Chains A and B, each alone.
Chain A
Amino acid sequence: MNIGVVVFPGSNCDHDCQHVFRDVLGQDVTMVWHKESSLAGLDAVILPGGFSYGDYLRTGAIARFSPVMQAVKRFAADGGLVLGICNGFQILLEAGLLPGAMLRNKSLHFICRETYVRVEHASTPFTNTCKPGQVLKIPIAHADGNYYTDPVTLASLQANAQVVFRYCTADGVVTPESCPNGALDNIAGIRNAAGNVLGLMPHPERCAETMMGSDDGRAIFLSMIMSCERKPSAGVH
Chain B
Amino acid sequence: MPPITKDLIAQHNLTGEEYQKIIDILGREPNLTELGMFSVMWSEHCSYKSSSVHLKKLPTTGPRVVQGPGENAGAIDIGDGLCVVFKMESHNHPSFIEPYQGAATGVGGILRDIFTMGARPIALLDSLRFGELHSAKNRHLMKGVVSGIAGYGNCMGVPTVGGEIVFSDIYALNPLVNVFCLGVAHTDKIFRGTAAGVGNPVIYCGSKTGRDGIHGATMASDSFDDKSEQKRPTVQVGDPFTEKLLLEACLELMERDLLVGIQDMGAAGLTSSSCEMASRAGNGIELDLTVVPRREPEMTPYEIMLSESQERMLMVAKAGMEDECLAICRKWDLDVAVVGRVTGDGMLRVSDQGKIVAEIPAKALADDGPRYERPYQPPSYQDMLTNLNYDVIPDVKDANAALLALLESPTIASKRWVYEQYDHMVRTNTMVRPGSDAAVVRIKGTNKAVAMTVDCNSRYCLLHPYEGARLAVAEAARNLVCSGAVPIGLTDCLNFGNPERPDIMWQFVMAIEGMKDACEHFQIPIVSGNVSFYNETNGLSIYPTPMLGMVGLIENSERTMTQWFKAEGDDVFLLGSSREDLGGTEYLKVVHAREQGSPPYLSLEKEKALHECVLSLIHDGLLQSAHDCSEGGLAATLAECCMSGTEHTFGAVIRLTRGRLRKDAVLFGESQSRVVISATPVHRQAILDRATRYGVPVEVIGAISGTRLVMYVGDEQSTEKVIDQPVAMLHDRWALSLERTLSGA
Stretch at the interface among B90-98, B236-244, B268-276, B293-301: B236-244
Min distance, Cβ A90 to any Cβ of chain B, angstroms: 14
> In this complex, what residue of B is CB-closest to A208?
B428
The residue from A50, A203, A209 contacting B425, defined by CB atoms under 8 A apart: A203
What residues of chain B lie closer than 8 Å to A203, measured between beta carbons?
425
Stretch at the interface among B61-69, B154-162, B649-657, B663-671: B154-162
Interface size on A, residues (CB 8 A): 33
Min distance, Cβ A220 to any Cβ of chain B, angstroms: 15
Query: Given contacts A9-B332, A12-B157, A13-B157, are A112 and B421 in contact (CB under 8 A)?
Result: yes
> In this complex, what residue of B is CB-closest to A35?
B331
What residues of chain B lie closer than 8 Å to A143, measured between beta carbons?
154
Task: Find out whether the CB atom of A54 lies under 8 angstroms from the CB atom of B155.
Answer: yes
What residues of chain A lie closer than 8 Å to B420, measured between beta carbons?
109, 111-113
What residues of chain A lie closer than 8 Å to B244, measured between beta carbons?
9-10, 12, 51, 54
What residues of chain B lie closer than 8 Å to A191, measured between beta carbons?
none
CA distance A61 to B444 in the complex (A): 33
Query: Given contacts A211-B431, A213-B646, are A54 and B421 in contact (CB under 8 A)?
Result: no
Task: Find out whether the CB atom of A54 lies under 8 angstroms from the CB atom of B241.
Answer: yes
Task: Find out whether the CB atom of B155 lies under 8 angstroms from the CB atom of A51.
Answer: yes
What residues of chain A lie closer than 8 Å to B150, measured between beta carbons?
109-110
Q: How large is the interface on B (under 10, 10 to 19, 20 to 34, 35 or more residues)?
A: 20 to 34
Task: Find out whether the CB atom of B428 lies under 8 angstroms from the CB atom of A205.
Answer: yes
The residue from B240, B333, B442 contacting A211, defined by CB atoms under 8 A apart: B442
A55 interface contact, C-beta 8 A: yes
B58 interface contact, C-beta 8 A: no
Min distance, Cβ B454 to any Cβ of chain A, angstroms: 19
Give B331-374 as 1s and 0s: 1 = Cβ < 8 Å from A's Cβ atoms.
01100000000000000000000000000000000000000000
Task: Find out whether the CB atom of A112 lies under 8 angstroms from the CB atom of B424.
Answer: yes
A114 interface contact, C-beta 8 A: yes
Give B400-442 as 1s and 0s: 1 = Cβ < 8 Å from A's Cβ atoms.
0000000000000000000111111111101101000000001
Query: Given contacts A10-B155, A110-B154, A112-B423, are A206 and B245 in contact (CB under 8 A)?
Result: no
What residues of chain A lie closer than 8 Å to B442, measured between beta carbons?
211
> In this complex, what residue of B is CB-closest to A48?
B157
In the complex, chain A residues 187-220 whose Cβ is within 8 Å of any chain B Cβ: 203, 205-206, 208-209, 211-213
What residues of chain B lie closer than 8 Å to A113, measured between beta carbons?
420
A185 interface contact, C-beta 8 A: no
Min distance, Cβ A215 to any Cβ of chain B, angstroms: 12
The residue from B239, B424, B430 contacting A54, defined by CB atoms under 8 A apart: B239
A139 interface contact, C-beta 8 A: yes
Min distance, Cβ B330 to any Cβ of chain A, angstroms: 12
Min distance, Cβ A186 to any Cβ of chain B, angstroms: 19
Query: Given contacts A9-B245, A10-B244, A211-B442, are A16 and B423 in contact (CB under 8 A)?
Result: no
CA distance A12 to B153 in the complex (A): 11
Min distance, Cβ A151 to any Cβ of chain B, angstroms: 31
B557 interface contact, C-beta 8 A: yes
Task: Find out whether the CB atom of A9 lies under 8 angstroms from the CB atom of B333.
Answer: yes
CA distance A198 to B420 in the complex (A): 26
What residues of chain A lie closer than 8 Å to B332, measured between beta carbons?
9
Min distance, Cβ A214 to any Cβ of chain B, angstroms: 10
Residue in B150, B420, B423 with the greatest tally of chain A CB atoms within 10 Å: B423
Residue in B150, B154, B425, B444 with the greatest tally of chain A CB atoms within 10 Å: B425
> In this complex, what residue of B is CB-closest to A7?
B248
Task: Find out whether the CB atom of B155 lies under 8 angstroms from the CB atom of A55.
Answer: yes
Task: Find out whether the CB atom of B428 lies under 8 angstroms from the CB atom of A16.
Answer: yes
In the complex, chain B residues 428-472 whose Cβ is within 8 Å of any chain A Cβ: 428, 430-431, 433, 442, 444
Min distance, Cβ A206 to any Cβ of chain B, angstroms: 5
Residue in B150, B419, B421, B426 with the greatest tally of chain A CB atoms within 10 Å: B426
What residues of chain A lie closer than 8 Å to B423, measured between beta carbons?
110, 112, 141
What residues of chain B lie closer than 8 Å to A53, measured between beta carbons?
241
Min distance, Cβ B549 to any Cβ of chain A, angstroms: 22
Min distance, Cβ B476 to any Cβ of chain A, angstroms: 25
In the complex, chain A residues 127-158 whose Cβ is within 8 Å of any chain B Cβ: 139, 141, 143
Task: Find out whether the CB atom of A12 lies under 8 angstroms from the CB atom of B426.
Answer: yes
In the complex, chain B residues 638-658 whose Cβ is within 8 Å of any chain A Cβ: 646
CA distance A53 to B646 in the complex (A): 34
A15 interface contact, C-beta 8 A: yes
The residue from B240, B419, B422, B427 contacting A51, defined by CB atoms under 8 A apart: B240
11 contacts between A and B (CB under 8 A): A9-B333, A16-B426, A16-B428, A51-B157, A51-B240, A112-B424, A112-B425, A141-B423, A205-B428, A209-B428, A213-B431
Taking beta carbons and an 8 Å cutoff, which residues of B are in contact with A?
150, 154-157, 239-242, 244-245, 332-333, 419-428, 430-431, 433, 442, 444, 557, 646
Which 10 residue pairs across A and B have the least CB separation, nearest first? A12-B157, A54-B241, A51-B155, A141-B423, A16-B428, A112-B423, A206-B425, A110-B421, A109-B421, A110-B150
Taking beta carbons and an 8 Å cutoff, which residues of A are in contact with B?
9-10, 12-13, 15-16, 19-20, 23, 49-51, 53-56, 109-114, 139, 141, 143, 203, 205-206, 208-209, 211-213
